[in-house]
Every structure is written in structure tokens, then in C-alpha cells.
């Protein structure tokens, strides 16, 4: 490699290198002096856990700390909130008044300048660390940076309290409405059960055994009545046959004819006398016989009164008519009892047949009522816990965010680094100058050395004559170089300054350029 040749090329095109170096350095130095200072005030907050142990009283706000901080951040960084903050604190007062910055750009710039960083908290590995929240804002003045930062901190605290109290209040309101709803449903289901019991009082499952016992007793009673009826009918037929054959219903040879009721009374009195001879007067059988004797005496007395009534009417009933009327009366009473028992048995049969279906419906009503009652008990317990959680949040005894360090006006700006900008412009000038020389060398394919003649034409020259410029060419070349240096050293700084003052601030212009470039 011919280093001497390349060095000669570099010295021959040194003016290109110097122009690029001067231009980039001028841009860097101009930006270092023109860009406004950016102050960053920072406030530190910490997320404190619930002050009352969960075992004693738990809050109803179960949102994770990281999720809650993200919700708060998104609420604060909404368009309306940012525009209201910018207008209230006059962050862009000089620009908005002149209509130089639209609202969309204000919102975007505010979101870039507000920084909310969260560290610590629950981690996958290792112990749980305290959740620290750092809030900062970049501004042109230290006082504005501190004011906006503290305003953002205030919004975070307000949003945290509002979110937690709203969640606790909504939880309590939900369970109050749930308890009221379940109470109304319980009352309605209880009324349904009561109406069902009243409508099916004789066919409920709890009285099934009693009705079956009644049915058996009624069947036995019906059988007994049928036997008594058959006996009475047989007695009536024998009485009629005896009267038709003998013309008398009394005992042959007796001087007095007794009626049926009188014979029954005599028979019962004889049985009572025999029983008293062998039993105590307090014996239940003696009491039953005495009751039957009293009933027979009443019947005989009524019969005598009826005979006297008939005698008064001018006609005395014969013993046959009296006995026949007595038997017919018993038959009529027996028939009425039989019909009543049959009707009762039919009602019992229908109620027993309807009991299984009613039992299913009743169990369904009871099960629904029990399920609702359990839900009601659970809702009441949850309402009590919600009331406790609401009280905890109202007294600020739950999880809360407290300020550890308020934002104060910083003493020095955090950016721009003016020395770094100037050195960066100088370094960029070196790189771009060397890059320009290299690019020109790559694009130049002309013959400039004797060796190029040998390589391209295959000849060996005896000698070479360099390019000799005229006096006019030398003057023009020097004027172009001087103009380029003047532009790099004077025009570029002045132009940037004018753009910054009268068109668009350079910091905003650089932000737009980097945003358009995706940086």
C-alpha cells in the first residue's frame, strides 16, 4: 500500500475535511449554547402495606400494588388531565398563546417528560422488597420542574385514595343490594311455601302416616257398620216374619210385651250387675257399661215420651210398629254413617295419592328456600366484611402511598451536556470529513499515477506532467473554499439561532426529528 500517495490525496483534499470538521463542530457548539437547560426534580414515594393485620380485619380492595400503580399512571397521563395540568401550571404558556404548539404535541411532550418509575415489590425470586415510586419531570426551569413533579405526586395520592375508596364503596353497595334482593326473594319463597301448605294442608307428606292410620280406622269402622247394618236388616226381617206368623212380637205366655229398647236396657243392667259383682267400680269396663246403661235409659225415656205423645194424639203405636220404627231409625243412621265414612275414605285416598307429587313440589320449594337462605347468610357475612373494609379505607388504615421525599428545585440541569455536545460535534466532523474524502476517492476513477497507466493501458511512461491550474481557477477554488469555511463557521450558527428564536425551538425540532426517525 502506497501510504505516501494516500497522504498526498488527504493533503490535496484537506479543505473538504476541514469544512466538514468546522461545520459539525459549529453545529455541536451552537447546540451546546442554544439548547435550553433541562432541570429534573424528583419525588420519592413508598407503598405501605395495610396497618391492620388481615387476620383481624381485611380490606376489600385486593388490587395488586403494581397493577394499581399502572392504573393510576394511565389515569394521570390521559389527554384531558395533561392539557389541564399544562394550562393550570402554564408549562407551555408562551407557545400555546402564539398557537405554535398544537394540543396533540403538548400531550405527547408531557408524556415524554413525566417519568413514573416503580421499583421493588413482589419478585419471583428472593424476598419481597418495598415498593418505591419515583416521580420526575423535565422542565426549562428548576422551579417549574419541582412544581409539576409535586403536582403529579398530589394526583397520584388523590387517585390512590379515590380508587381504593371507590372500590370499597362499590363492594359495600353491591352486597347491600345483594342482601336486599335475597331478602325479598326469601320473603317471596316463604310466601310460596305458606300458600302451598295452606292449599294442600290435607295432602302434605308430614301427615301421610296419620292419614293412612285414619284410612285403616275408617275401613275398620266401615266394616263394623256394614256388619251392624246386616244385623239390623236381619233383625227387621225376623221381626216382620214373626209378626206376620203370630201377630205378636212379644214373648209367648208373658203378660207384658217389652220393646226392643227396654230389652236392651234390661240386658245391659244385668251385665252391669254381674260385672259389679266381680270388678271394682273404677274398672274401665264398669265405666263403659254404666255409660251404655245411661244411654239405654235415655232411649227408653224418649220412647215412652213418644208413646205418650201418640196417645195424646188419639192413637197408641203397637209394639211391632215401635220396634220396626226403632230398627228403621238405626238403619237410616247406619246408612248415613256409612256414606259419611265412604266420603271420608275417598278424600283420604285422593289426598294420599296426591301426597308424592306434593312432596316433590314441597321439597323443591324447601330446597330453593334453603339455598336462598344460605346465599342470604353468606351475603350478610360478606356485607359485614365489606363494611369493615369500607371503614378501613375511609380511615386510611389500608394499603396507602406516602411521600418519602418531596420534589425540590434542582441546583443544576441534567441536560444538555454542553461539553459532550461540542466534543460530539468535533468528533462527528472528523468522521464525516474522513468519510467524505473516502467517498470522493471511491467515486474518482481517473488516472492519477504512472502506475495507473501501466495497470490500465499496459505501457510504461517516460515521464508525467501534473495538472497545472490557471490563475482564474486558483482564485475560484480559493473563493469556494473560503465561502464554505464562512458558511460552516458563521452561517450555520446564525441560522440555527434564528430557527430557534423565530421558527421552532431546537429542542422540540430535535425531538420531532428523533421521533420521525424512530429513535
Compute the distance between CA of residue 351 and CA of residue 357 in angstroms, rounded to an integer. 10
C-alpha 423, offset from chain centre:
60
Mean pLDDT of 171-184: 89
What pLDDT score does 97 carry? 43
Mean pLDDT, all residues of the chain: 79
What pLDDT score does 456 carry? 67
The pLDDT tens digits for 20-35 are: 888 888 888 887 777 7
C-alpha 118, offset from chain centre:
28
pLDDT(316) > 70? no
Mean pLDDT of 467-477: 75
Non-local CB neighbours of 90 within 8 Å, separated by 6+ positions:
none
The pLDDT tens digits for 420-431 are: 878 888 888 888
DSSP 439-468: HHHHH--S--SHHHHHHHH----S------
pLDDT(129) > 80? no
pLDDT(96) > 50? no
Looking at 191-200, 385-394, 441-450, which range is the least confident one? 441-450
CB 41 within 8 A of CB 137: yes
* Three-state secondary structure of 248-271: CCCCCCCCCCCCHHHHHHHHHHHH
CB 15 within 8 A of CB 481: yes
pLDDT band at residue 447 under the 50/70/90 scheme: low
Mean pLDDT of 126-150: 85
CB 167 within 8 A of CB 154: no
Looking at 104-108, 317-321, 346-350, which range is the least confident one? 317-321
What pLDDT score does 440 carry? 76
Give exposure, 473-502, as e/b (b: 16+ Cβ within 10 Å).
eeeeeeeeeeebeeebeeebbeebeeebee
The torsion region of residue 227 among left (phi > 0), alpha (psi -120 to 50) and beta comes to alpha
Compute the distance between CA of residue 304 and CA of residue 298 in angstroms, rounded to an integer. 10
The pLDDT tens digits for 362-419 are: 889 889 999 999 999 998 988 888 888 878 777 767 778 888 889 888 888 887 777 8
The pLDDT tens digits for 35-94 are: 778 888 999 998 887 776 666 666 666 667 788 888 888 999 999 988 888 888 888 765
Looking at 10-24, 47-61, 248-262, 321-335, which range is the least confident one? 248-262
Sign of CA dihedral 438, 440, 445, 449: negative
CA distances to 47, 263, 376, 377, 384 from 390, in Å:
19, 92, 20, 20, 10
pLDDT(511) > 80? no
What pLDDT score does 134 carry? 92
What pLDDT score does 438 carry? 80
pLDDT band at residue 151 under the 50/70/90 scheme: very high
Mean pLDDT of 220-224: 88
The sheet carrying 39-48 orders its strands as: 114-121, 129-139, 39-48, 400-405
CB 159 within 8 A of CB 58: no
Q: Is the bond preceding 416 in cis, omega lying within 30 degrees of 0?
A: yes
Radius of gyration, alpha carbons of the chain: 60
The pLDDT tens digits for 336-372 are: 888 888 898 888 888 888 888 888 888 898 899 999 9
What pLDDT score does 199 carry? 85
Mean pLDDT of 183-210: 86
With a pLDDT cut of 90, the percent of the chain lying above it is 8
Distance separating the N- and C-terminal Cα atoms of the chain:
40
pLDDT band at residue 256 under the 50/70/90 scheme: very low
Mean pLDDT of 272-277: 78
Statement: the pTM of the whole predicted model exceeds 0.75: no
343 or 326, which is more confident: 343
134 DSSP β-pair partners: 44, 117
CB 416 within 8 A of CB 31: yes
Mean pLDDT of 239-254: 59
- Residue 516: CB atoms within 10 A of its CB come to 8
Nearest Cα neighbor of 49 from 390, 398, 393, 402 is: 398
What pLDDT score does 518 carry? 60
CB 86 within 8 A of CB 104: no
46 DSSP β-pair partners: 132, 402
C-alpha 408, offset from chain centre:
42
Instruction: For residue 36, give the H/E element and its range.
Output: none
3-state SS, residue 148: helix
Compute the distance between CA of residue 205 and CA of residue 405 in angstroms, rounded to an integer. 75
Amino acid at each position: 500500500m502506497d501510504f505516501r500517495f494516500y497522504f498526498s490525496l488527504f493533503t490535496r483534499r484537506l479543505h473538504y475535511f476541514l469544512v466538514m470538521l468546522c461545520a459539525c463542530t459549529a453545529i455541536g457548539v451552537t447546540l451546546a449554547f442554544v439548547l435550553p437547560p433541562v432541570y429534573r426534580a424528583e419525588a420519592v414515594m413508598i407503598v405501605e402495606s395495610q396497618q391492620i393485620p388481615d387476620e383481624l380485619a381485611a380490606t376489600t380492595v385486593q388490587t395488586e400494588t403494581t397493577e394499581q400503580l399502572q392504573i393510576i399512571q394511565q389515569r394521570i397521563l390521559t389527554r384531558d388531565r395533561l392539557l389541564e395540568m399544562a394550562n393550570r401550571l402554564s408549562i407551555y404558556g408562551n407557545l400555546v398563546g402564539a398557537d405554535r404548539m398544537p394540543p396533540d404535541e403538548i400531550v405527547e411532550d408531557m408524556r415524554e417528560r413525566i417519568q413514573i418509575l416503580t421499583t421493588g415489590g413482589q419478585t419471583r425470586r428472593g424476598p419481597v422488597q418495598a415498593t418505591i415510586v419515583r416521580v420526575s419531570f423535565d422542565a426549562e426551569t428548576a422551579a417549574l420542574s419541582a412544581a409539576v413533579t409535586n403536582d403529579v405526586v398530589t394526583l397520584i395520592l388523590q387517585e390512590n385514595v379515590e380508587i381504593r375508596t371507590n372500590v370499597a364503596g362499590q363492594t359495600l353497595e353491591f352486597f347491600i343490594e345483594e342482601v336486599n334482593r335475597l331478602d325479598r326473594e326469601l320473603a317471596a319463597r316463604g310466601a310460596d311455601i305458606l300458600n302451598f301448605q295452606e292449599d294442600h294442608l290435607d295432602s302434605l307428606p308430614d301427615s301421610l302416616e296419620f292419614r293412612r292410620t285414619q284410612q285403616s280406622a275408617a275401613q275398620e269402622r266401615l266394616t263394623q257398620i256394614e256388619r251392624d247394618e246386616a244385623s239390623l236388616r236381619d233383625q227387621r226381617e225376623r221381626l216382620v216374619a214373626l209378626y206376620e206368623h203370630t201377630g205378636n212380637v212379644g214373648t209367648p205366655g208373658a203378660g207384658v210385651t217389652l220393646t226392643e229398647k227396654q230389652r236392651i236396657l234390661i240386658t245391659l243392667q244385668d251385665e252391669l250387675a254381674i260385672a259389679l259383682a266381680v270388678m271394682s267400680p273404677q274398672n274401665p269396663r264398669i265405666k263403659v257399661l254404666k255409660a251404655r246403661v245411661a244411654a239405654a235409659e235415655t232411649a227408653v225415656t224418649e220412647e215412652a215420651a213418644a208413646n205418650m205423645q201418640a196417645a195424646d194424639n188419639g192413637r197408641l203405636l203397637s209394639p211391632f210398629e215401635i220396634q220396626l220404627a226403632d230398627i228403621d231409625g238405626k238403619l237410616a243412621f247406619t246408612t248415613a254413617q256409612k256414606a259419611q265414612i265412604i266420603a271420608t275414605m275417598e278424600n283420604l285416598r285422593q289426598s294420599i295419592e296426591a301426597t308424592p307429587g306434593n312432596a316433590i313440589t314441597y321439597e323443591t320449594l324447601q330446597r330453593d328456600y334453603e339455598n336462598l337462605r344460605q346465599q342470604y347468610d353468606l351475603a350478610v357475612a360478606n356485607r359485614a366484611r365489606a363494611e369493615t373494609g369500607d371503614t378501613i379505607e375511609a380511615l386510611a388504615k389500608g394499603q396507602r402511598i406516602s411521600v418519602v421525599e418531596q420534589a425540590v428545585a434542582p441546583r443544576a440541569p441534567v441536560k444538555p451536556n454542553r461539553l459532550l455536545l461540542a466534543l460530539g460535534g468535533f468528533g462527528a466532523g472528523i468522521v464525516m470529513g474522513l468519510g467524505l474524502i473516502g467517498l470522493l476517492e471511491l467515486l474518482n476513477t481517473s488516472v492519477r499515477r504512472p502506475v495507473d497507466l501501466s495497470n490500465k493501458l499496459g505501457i510504461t511512461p517516460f515521464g508525467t506532467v501534473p495538472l497545472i491550474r490557471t490563475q482564474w481557477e486558483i482564485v475560484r477554488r480559493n473563493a469556494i473554499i473560503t465561502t464554505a469555511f464562512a458558511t460552516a463557521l458563521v452561517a450555520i450558527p446564525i441560522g440555527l439561532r434564528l430557527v430557534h428564536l423565530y421558527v421552532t425551538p431546537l429542542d422540540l425540532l430535535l425531538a420531532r426529528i428523533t421521533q420521525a426517525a424512530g429513535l
